Amino acid sequence: MTRSDLVTLLANRFGQLTHRDAEFAVKTMLDAMSDALGKGHRIEIRGFGSFAISHRPPRVGRNPRSGEPVTIPEKLVPHFKPGKALREAVDQPFADRVEG
């Protein structure tokens, strides 16, 4: 599902919400989440999962073409941990998910 798919789904599901309003709501939510992660905060959405920042220490990698060692600097990266409800929904047998 893409961002535009999500906007369309929201606009269709909630008749009082225009496409522009749904787009604004999705943008506002994603911007707020990005800002919070950028400030080092943790985000938890019950039943869905949590987002946090993980630290990756510096390491030595290899250039795949030449085999030369390359120093990879440390960095902070977003990390997602799915919640129990999401894990269970994804783990359902495929036949249960197919609408017939």
Q: Express each pLDDT in 5-47 by its tens digit.
A: 999 999 999 989 999 999 999 999 999 999 999 999 999 999 8
Average pLDDT over residues 49-77: 96
Confidence (pLDDT) at 92: 82
Question: Among positive and negative, which fits the CA dihedral 70, 74, 77, 79?
Answer: positive
H helix count then E strand count, the chain:
4, 5
In contact, 10 and 17? CB cutoff 8 Å = yes
Consecutive H or E run containing 28: helix 19-38
Closest alpha carbon to 78 in 30, 17, 46, 37: 37
